Amino acid sequence: MRILLVGAGGVGNAIAKIAARRTFFETIVVSDFDLGRAEATIAWIEAKHGQQGDRFIAARIDASNPDDVASVATAHRVTHVMNAVEPKFVPTIFAGALAAGADYLDMAMSLSEPHPTDPYTQTGVKLGDDQFAQAPDWETAGRLALVGMGVEPGLSDVFARYAADHLFSEIDELGVRDGANLVVTDEAGNEIFAPSFSIWTTIEECLNPPVIWEKDRGWYTTAPFSEPEVFDFPDGIGPVECVNVEHEEVLLMPRWVDARKATFKYGLGNEFIGILKTLHQLGLDKTEPLTVRSPDGPVQVAPRDVVAAGLPDPAGLGPRMTGKTCAGLYVTGSAHDGSPRAVYLYHVSDNEWTMAEYDCQCVVWQTALNPVIALELLATGRWSGIGVLGPEAFDAQLFLDLMAKPEADGGYGQAWGMQERQPVA
């Protein structure tokens, strides 16, 4: 397996560092628009693990240009393109991978467009619609596009497949629930507002109309931050208020898993929600460039890019961050004996541990872990497929076994948990 890793930012950097401990691939081409960032990732790996030879190669890439993606992939005889940049680049990387005759993986899917007249009831263009529309092209080419293979989406989708195959006879709801007790401080020790993931992506997810799926209704939307509920997260995180957020799982799970309902709720906190609402009110969430006067003449600037430039880089927050993040799936329905059942399947990432082991903050590290596991399953033939597929289309047991097995035994040493919860009458 020869992998083109597009993007050496927070998640891309973590993917390379996690993969450096594995032997399933021949070469990873770490590419970025900023060549120095790709080179820095490889330098860290070599300082930690010794010289890598041709196992890691740095390259410059323009992710906005499908021809450039295809050219870099072809030049390095790439078999798999791993997309680790913001979802606005999905269409070009997706096209470039297919043109190069390579398989493709991403952690976030093609962007949505709200319904033009009724955005908080009806869907418009849904997340991933553009990619699924091209499934016949991938099938004809005999190539695989594994979409939504991060942590959320990704691991939660694996949990959905596992729950359907092993835990439930009937599923009422597949409810993704994410929460954390992370705190970021400034140099003086004061708590600050600093999103642990790309603000560009965070704005996209949180201010777009959330999507819900019901078997009798299909996909529909609601207002941002709707239907708050307090969810009790494990490993000392505790109760966190979660709200509806637009996310890929709701668009993926119903395609392969039989359930009556699918939802996604995220623990944002009142301060975070207030800031996002203010950005929206001021128009600072917009992606269309505005003309801004400057001493050198007018320049075109996208407001959302200005917000991103003014915030700390999520990849560099680790030393100033404490706490844990939990990603998981709350499943309700009927057990195999017909009795009501509710379980929470989850994985917790501790920032202190990820910083000590990988020099990566826990949110980006947890996201990066899952595509590496998927790549290894594909490299060894334990997972295989053709077309545009989500994680639910594959054997979840193989993934979870490899994830939890100790590193000394060839696994990743990342235990996942399952809590039995009290079914709601």
How many residues comprise the chain?
425
Tens digit of each residue's pLDDT, the chain (425 residues): 999 999 999 999 999 999 999 999 999 999 999 999 999 999 999 999 998 889 999 999 999 999 999 999 999 999 999 999 999 999 999 999 999 999 999 999 999 999 999 999 999 999 999 999 999 999 999 999 999 999 999 999 999 999 999 999 999 999 999 999 988 887 777 777 766 667 777 777 788 999 999 999 999 999 999 999 999 999 999 999 999 999 999 999 999 999 999 999 999 877 778 888 888 888 888 878 888 887 878 888 888 888 877 777 776 777 778 899 999 999 999 999 999 999 999 999 999 999 999 999 999 999 999 999 999 999 999 999 999 999 999 999 999 999 999 999 999 999 999 999 998 76
Comparing C-alpha atoms, which of 156, 140, 328 is closest to residue 242?
A: 328
Cis peptide leading into residue 153 (ω within 30°): yes
Q: 167: number of CA atoms within 13 Å, CB side?
A: 26
Q: What angle do CA 331, 337, 340 make, to 5 degrees?
A: 40
| Whether the Cβ atoms of residue 52 and residue 22 lie closer than 8 Å to each other | no
Q: What angle do CA 257, 262, 268 make, to 5 degrees?
A: 135
Instruction: Kindly state the DSSP code that residue 224 receives in the 8-state scheme.
Output: T
> Which pLDDT does position 312 carry in this prediction?
72
Superfamily of domain 2-149+366-409: NAD(P)-binding Rossmann-like Domain (3.40.50.720)
Comparing C-alpha atoms, which of 128, 107, 156 is closest to residue 9?
A: 107
> Which pLDDT does position 33 carry in this prediction?
97
> Which pLDDT does position 196 carry in this prediction?
65
> Which pLDDT does position 425 carry in this prediction?
63
| Domain 155-365+416-421, CATH among 3.30.360.10, 3.90.320.10, 3.90.700.10, 3.40.50.300 | 3.30.360.10
> Which pLDDT does position 202 carry in this prediction?
78
Q: What is the pTM of this model?
A: 0.92
Distance CA 261, CA 253 (A): 10
Comparing C-alpha atoms, which of 330, 314, 402, 403 is closest to residue 363?
A: 314
Instruction: Kindly state the DSSP code that residue 165 receives in the 8-state scheme.
Output: I
The domain ranges of the chain are 2-149+366-409, 155-365+416-421
> Which pLDDT does position 288 carry in this prediction?
84
> Which pLDDT does position 315 carry in this prediction?
66
Comparing C-alpha atoms, which of 186, 161, 160, 184 is closest to residue 174?
A: 160
414: how many CB neighbours lie within 10 A of its CB? Answer: 20
Written as six digits, the tokens of 389 are 């597929």
Q: In whole angstroms, how far apart are CA 324 and each of 254, 371, 380, 405?
A: 29, 20, 32, 21
| Whether the Cβ atoms of residue 326 and residue 342 lie closer than 8 Å to each other | no
Q: Which residues pair with 192 in a beta bridge?
A: none
